[in-house]
């Protein structure tokens, strides 16, 4: 079995209102040295696969078909 962490983030150039609003709120709280916030989403996925290469292929397909919208998102896959 493998445990994977799939991080979904917005492509460069796509507006990130969640990130920019979070930055605003952080500055209001006094964290004035914060200069940028980007939002992302993390999925922790357990897979009953022994083969890492196959697991990675499956995770990529999961991203393309559900976890990310390839029009606006990039993703990164890490294994534990």
Judged by the rule CB under 8 A, the positions of this chain that interact with other proteins are: 11, 13-18, 20-21, 64-67, 69-72
Q: How far is the CB of 15 from other proteins (least distance, A)?
A: 6
DSSP 13-64: TS--HHHHHHHHHHHHTT-TT------EEEEEEEE--S-HHHHHHHHHHHII
Nearest partner of 74 among 63, 61, 58, judged by Cα:
63
Instruction: Give whichever of 14 and 76 is closer to other proteins, judged by the CB atom.
Output: 14
Query: Minimum distance between the CB of residue 50 and other proteins, rounded to whole angstroms?
Result: 25
Shorter beta-carbon distance to other proteins: residue 36 or 50: 36
């Amino acid at each position: 079995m493998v445990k994977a962490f799939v991080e979904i983030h917005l492509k460069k150039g796509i507006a990130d209102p969640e990130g920019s609003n979070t930055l605003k709120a952080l500055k209001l709280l006094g964290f004035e040295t914060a200069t940028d916030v980007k939002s992302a989403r993390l999925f922790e996925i357990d897979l009953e696969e022994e083969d890492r290469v196959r697991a990675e292929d499956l995770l990529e397909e999961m991203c393309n078909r559900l976890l990310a919208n390839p029009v606006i998102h990039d993703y990164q896959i890490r294994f534990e």
